[in-house]
Amino acid sequence: METESKLYQLFEDELKDIYWAETHLVKALPKMAEAATSEQLKKAFEKHLEVTQKQVSRLEEVFSVLGKKASAKKCEAMSGLIEEANTIIGDTEKDTMTRDCGLIFAAQKVEHYEIATYGCLKAVANILGEKEAAELLNQTLQEEKNTDVELTVIAESFVNQEAEKE
Ligand code: FE
Ligand code: FE
Ligand code: FE
């Protein structure tokens, strides 16, 4: 058995961090969908919930190709970002576009955290020679980037303008 470098340990810790984050997003996204005003944003959250469930399985596959058991370590950042989403829901009125605008703030902060994490994980997987893991991590990275773009489209096509009139 090869000895694990410090970088490999860091890589594994970061995988545990994002695994915690994704599993908690599976719990948070239905609440965000429920809170959304527009059908488009509700649908976007519901769709991303399905994608996120697959991302959890994909992370389990990453642990598996590394010969590790999947395990989670609390991600303080995602915990805080989910708390922010809940605060925004509490601070905005139901059935308003201001609510949707706030939800998009929260959701894009989440996506950007994920993009940063998966980008770094992919780069480190490559440098460690873990090609299969890198490929899996890249798939999720692309999904998070697409979600971020979809949220921007929703915000800029009608949410922000309608919120401005409230
Ligand atoms: Fe994700
Ligand atoms: Fe984290
Ligand atoms: Fe995401």
Helix (H) or strand (E) holding 9: helix 6-35
Tokens representing residue 22 in the block: 């994704």
Between the CA of 66 and the centroid of ligand 2 the distance, in Å, is 20
Instruction: Read off the pLDDT of residues 95-128 as tens digits, 9 standing for 90 and up.
Output: 999 999 999 999 999 999 999 999 999 999 999 9
Looking at all shown ligands, the one closest to residue 23's CA atom is 1
Give the mean model confidence (pLDDT) for residues 126-155: 98
- pTM (two decimals): 0.96
Residue carrying the six token digits 């509490």 = 90
Centre of ligand 3 from the C-alpha of residue 22, in Å: 8
Span 2-51, pLDDT tens digits? 678 999 999 999 999 999 999 999 999 999 999 999 999 999 999 999 99
The pLDDT value given to residue 44? 98
Per residue in 45-90, pLDDT (tens digit) is 999 999 999 999 999 999 999 999 999 999 999 999 999 999 999 9
- Architecture of the CATH domain 6-165: Up-down Bundle (1.20)
Instruction: State how far the Cα of 56 lies from the Cα of 21, in Å rounded to an integer.
Output: 9
